[in-house]
Structure 1
Amino acid sequence: MIELLPIALAAGFLALGAAAAAWAVQAERKRSQALGQAAARMGLEPLVWEPSQRGLYGLQVFDQGHNRRTYNVFRRLFSETEEAYLFDYDYTTGSGKSRHTHRQTLAAFRRSGRALPRFELRPENVLHKIGGLFGYQDIDFEGFPEFSRNYLLRGQDEAAVRALWRPFLLQHLGLHPGWCLEGGGDWLVAYRDGRRVEAEKLQEFFEDSRALHALL
């Protein structure tokens, strides 16, 4: 009887693992259905789409990690020159015990003819502040302490990035911390790092992201 105990324990763990996997699959299916319904109410259409199809992989978020996956994709066409995409995006960093999968919902906006300088904005943390003491780039703006305290802004062409970030945009973001923005050419991507948006918050996220798009 004692000899059978390890086998019983192993079988129990396998059963628990299978149940957890089945629950996760079902939860993702329900999430996809709920997002689809919310997106339809907002006038967005579902489609199969990869960021690489539109040249987005040059942006930092799409160059991170491995096992990259784009899913739950929805599109809205505002005009022949302006469109928006909402989608979930995962990527994995590390391996073994240090392996971590990052999941977030992104809004990507394209405006034909726009020529954004390449930039990356994200919430500033302690490591960024320490790095700044050793020359790590962080573009700050005098007169906007909330923005400079809350955000790390980087870009190869600092002068062009500074010209883009006008006072009303700096003030808006200073009052609304937590955003990640990446831009280049006709594309702007907005998201909150490591956070997926639930269906009931999808319209709010889309409107907030679109407001940032309008300011750029």
Structure 2
Amino acid sequence: MNNFDIAYWILLIAAFIVSSYYYSKRKKRFSISREQFISKYSFKEADSIFTEMHKHGFNILSRASGGYGDYEFDHVISKSSEKEDFFIFDFVYTSKSQDKSTATRQATLRSVLIKLKDRELFTFELFPENIFEKIKQAFGAADIDFDEYKQFSKMYVLKGDDESRIRNTFSQSLIRKLESTKSICIEARKSCLLIYNLNHGEFADYEALYKDAKSINEALR
């Protein structure tokens, strides 16, 4: 091993140590903020929501590279009221873009599941539009656009079985909210609502996501 190789390995090890140190500090701060959020909003630790997530066939599961074992639901907390039950959790998964044999850390999406008690919703899905979705739309894939909200229609794909009801329910205030909250995904089923943000990972702010989910849930009433 020559001097260059030795220097390379020393730098690599040093970078790993520094990276691990800052990751540990960030994880500790996250743990504190999580406990503060739980206390402030009266959440409590909850059991797994595996059955609930699979019962409704949410598309978030398709982000994992394979079946169960390539993903899990971690750090589940919940809060109940007369109108709904809130669950906040981390969807931890091996992405399809990762090599399962070499992946050192799984991806995380912090998510909110709202189980509705006082009403029934209609089925729809909203997620950020990308080049692949534009190509699919060119070949006839569904996407509900609003002529009066061109920015919103450029940002998101919106589809569902009842287009008329979707158009009537998506108010100006909700659309403006979604325009200002980039990368959000909503999966609505008859009795529940799943909300997550593609930019909200392992250390995402609980309070911001919770407030966004509450606001969207109220706007869909």
Normalised to the residue count of structure 1, the TM-score between the two structures is 0.77
Partner of residue 91, structure 2 = 89
Deviation at 1:139, TM superposition (A): 1.7
Structure 1, 137-146 or 174-183: larger mean CA deviation = 137-146
Bigger proportion of residues as strand: 1
Structure 1, 177-186 or 107-116: larger mean CA deviation = 107-116
The one of 77, 81, 88 aligned to 2:80: 77
Q: Map 1:1-216 to 2 at 5 A.
A: 3=2, 6=5, 9-10=8-9, 13-14=12-13, 16-50=15-49, 52-56=50-54, 58-66=57-65, 67-79=70-82, 82-91=84-93, 92-96=95-99, 102-112=107-117, 114-155=119-160, 157=161, 160-167=162-169, 169-176=170-177, 177=179, 178=182, 179-196=184-201, 201-216=205-220
> Which letter does structure 2 place at the counterpart of 1:94?
S
Contact 1:146 1:175 (C-alpha < 8 Å) held by counterparts: no
Contact 2:27 2:203 (C-alpha < 8 Å) held by counterparts: no
Unaligned regions of 5+ residues in structure 2, if any? none
Deviations 1:90-142 (A, max 9, x none): 32222349979543321111113644343210122343234322212112245
Contact 2:108 2:202 (C-alpha < 8 Å) held by counterparts: no
SS class of match (2:110): strand
Q: Percent identity?
A: 21
Deviation at 1:8, TM superposition (A): 6.5
CA-based RMSD of the aligned residues comes to 3.2
> Which letter does structure 2 place at the counterpart of 1:73?
V
Contact 2:124 2:159 (C-alpha < 8 Å) held by counterparts: yes
Unaligned regions of 5+ residues in structure 1, if any? none
Deviation at 1:146, TM superposition (A): 4.1
> Which letter does structure 2 place at the counterpart of 1:166?
N
Structure 2 distance, partners of 1:111, 1:129, is 33
Bigger proportion of residues as helix: 1
Normalised to the residue count of structure 2, the TM-score between the two structures is 0.75
> Which letter does structure 2 place at the counterpart of 1:211?
S
Contact 1:72 1:88 (C-alpha < 8 Å) held by counterparts: yes
Change (3 A) 1:161 1:32: farther
Structure 1 distance, partners of 2:163, 2:88, is 25
> Which letter does structure 1 place at the counterpart of 2:174?
L
Deviation at 1:26, TM superposition (A): 4.3
